[in-house]
Structure 1
Amino acid sequence: MEKSQQRSILFAGDSVTDCGRREDPRGLGDGYVNFIAAEVAQQGVAVSNVGIGGDRVVDLQRRWAKDVLSSSAQVLSILVGINDTWRRFDSNEPTTAAAFEEGYRELLTQAEPHFQRIVLVQPFLLPVTAGQQDWAEDLRDKQHAVARLAAEFGAVLVPAHERLTALAADGGGNTALANDGVHPTSLGHAELASIWLETVNV
């Protein structure tokens, strides 16, 4: 799709996308979506946000028709996966990589006819505790699934995990970008927005 056609972007996902958007009169929240919206507004591109904290793929499936398929946006961006890992460790509710990929594929199959361009943001983790090293192994298979799905559906893959991990190593450490390893700091959100914009090239 030509840049001139990208007039509206819809962001879907979990708390990293939500980021207080339901308390924000603009509906954007104060995270990476807000940073992206400020940047693309100069090009006349509108942004909307339907992220909800705590969501896994199965939760997106329940509200997909209402929140996503009904949208008139041309571009859809999805960031989901960390809660599919997290719930295994804090609630004993694991999501296998196969189930994650199958559910995600269903979302994309439904979305594909409605959007001119789809963006998949790689779920990321910046471990800050010893226990989160175990999370990383679980999440890795889901990251591979997202990459496969991006290739399968011709979607843009935003390499958030690799880029944020490299940035953390270059200075400040993981806590500078995500205090708890999952939710970005203001700096982390700004960096995530930059990675998104550089990759998607709106």
Structure 2
Amino acid sequence: MTRTQTLAFVGDSITDAGRDRADAGSLGDGYVRLVADEFARRGASVRVVNAGIAGNRAVDLERRWAPDVAPHEADVVTLFIGVNDMWRRYDHDDPTSAEDFEATCRRLLAAEAQSRPVGPKWILMEPFLLPVREEQHAWLDDLDGKRQAVRRLAEETGAPLVPLHDILTAAAGAEGAAALAPDGVHPTPLGSRLIADAWFTAFDGVSASGREAAAPAAEASAATA
């Protein structure tokens, strides 16, 4: 009997996507819903958990990790955070340095790994911004520090990186930024579809690698039996 895998998605409004927080099974209407729909189409035995909350920064995730994320003991945790760590600098004069952002994310990864005998697999999503107003172009410098922090963590831990900023920036060149995110951040259905597709590229790559690694091990076991 196939064991049901739990996949938890943790982040801000892009993950939240209007979910009903009073309903544990609510997935919102963004990329997490599209991911769940694709798993259903594949007939996969998975449980998808949306643990996104609009407006969250990395420090907010850290405060609520124990009650909102850890109890699920997810097999795969997708961490997608950073745009509000940038945005609050410009709309509330409340900046988060790249160093503080990275330190918080490191603590999240370490705490989850230490909280149970077999820690989760991680997928790290890069924050993105598609400037639709002139002043937003200057925000990219701040975002770049957060993006590089996520990339370092992916490289150090071996977690798959979903390079959303590069993917969506390229798509915006063809479709126009507003067609993907009218305010530069919150995705349209097309933007959500591109995010979900990018997530599956990372997830399927990890799954394929796991199968390839398992095959030689199984052959070796049979040879020594």
TM exceeding 0.5 = yes
Aligned with 2:183: secondary structure? coil
Q: 4+ residue runs of structure 1 moved beyond 6 angstroms?
A: none
Q: 2:151 aligns with which of 147, 172, 176?
A: 147
Correspondence for 1:138? 142
Q: 2:166 aligns with which of 159, 162, 176?
A: 162
Please give the per-residue CA displacement for 1:131-152, whole angstroms capped at 9, x wherever unaligned. 1111111000110000001122
Based on CA coordinates, which of the two structures has the bigger radius of gyration? 2
More contact order relative to length (CA 8 Å, sep ≥ 6) = 1
Aligned with 2:175: secondary structure? coil
Correspondence for 1:64? 65
Aligned-residue offset at 1:124: 0.5
Name the amino acid aligned to 2:101.
Answer: F
Correspondence for 2:90? 89
Aligned-residue offset at 1:20: 1.0
Correspondence for 2:6? 8
Farther off after superposition, 14-23 or 53-62:
14-23
- In the alignment of these two chains, the number of paired residues is 198
Tell me if the contact between 2:3 and 2:45 (Cα under 8 Å) persists in the aligned partners. Answer: no
Name the amino acid aligned to 2:28.
Answer: G
Farther off after superposition, 115-124 or 20-29:
20-29
CA distance in 2, matches of 1:93, 1:33: 29
Correspondence for 2:203? 200
Correspondence for 1:30? 29
Aligned-residue offset at 1:168: 1.2
Matched, 1:123 2:127: yes
Aligned-residue offset at 1:24: 8.3
Structure 1 unpaired stretches of 5+: none
TM-score (norm 2): 0.84
Tell me if the contact between 2:10 and 2:79 (Cα under 8 Å) persists in the aligned partners. Answer: yes
Correspondence for 1:55? 56
Aligned with 2:104: secondary structure? helix
Tell me if the contact between 2:112 and 2:120 (Cα under 8 Å) persists in the aligned partners. Answer: no
Aligned-residue offset at 1:77: 0.3
Q: Give matches, 1:163-202, under 5 Å.
A: 163-169=167-173, 171-201=174-204
Farther off after superposition, 107-116 or 152-161:
107-116
TM-score (norm 1): 0.93
Name the amino acid aligned to 2:142.
Answer: D
Aligned-residue offset at 1:45: 1.6
Please give the per-residue CA displacement for 1:104-143, whole angstroms capped at 9, x wherever unaligned. 1111111224533101100011110111111111000110
Aligned-residue offset at 1:196: 0.6
Aligned-residue offset at 1:154: 2.0
Tell me if the contact between 2:13 and 2:56 (Cα under 8 Å) persists in the aligned partners. Answer: yes
CA distance in 2, matches of 1:164, 1:24: 32
Identity of aligned residues (%): 46
Q: CA RMSD in A?
A: 1.6
Name the amino acid aligned to 1:76.
Answer: V
